[in-house]
């Protein structure tokens, strides 16, 4: 599977695109998924799928780290 990166995308869209490329996102509006909390949702992200794609895993890790450092800068 070829993983593409489009520089014109926002970071959020790039992460979403990669999750879609590795089939980690599942949608089912007719029969929502039930989370462990009991909440029902039409969308499910199976993060285990990302483990098989090191480049995608590294990209998502990096993007999440960037958000954390932006939200909680060192003082």
pLDDT tens-place values along the chain, 75 residues long: 555 544 445 788 889 999 999 999 999 999 999 989 999 999 999 999 999 999 999 999 998 888 888 888 887
Is the residue at 53 inside a domain? yes
Domain assignment present for residue 6? The answer is no
d(CA 56, CA 38) in angstroms, rounded, equals 29
* Two tokens, residue 27: 């949608």
Residue 25 lies in a domain: yes
What pTM does this model have?
A: 0.74
Give me the pLDDT at residue 70, please: 83
- Residue 31 covered by a domain: yes
CA distance 11 to 14: 5
Q: Which domain holds residue 52?
A: 11-71
CA geometry: angle at 47 spanning 45 and 50, to 5°? 125
In the chain, the number of structural domains is 1
């Amino acid at each position: 599977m070829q993983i593409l990166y489009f520089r014109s995308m926002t970071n959020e869209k790039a992460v979403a695109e990669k999750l879609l490329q590795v089939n980690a996102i599942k949608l089912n509006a007719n029969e929502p998924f039930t989370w462990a909390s009991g909440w029902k949702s039409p969308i499910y992200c199976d993060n285990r799928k990302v483990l098989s794609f090191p480049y995608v895993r590294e990209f998502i890790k990096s993007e999440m780290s960037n958000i954390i450092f932006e939200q909680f800068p060192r003082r």
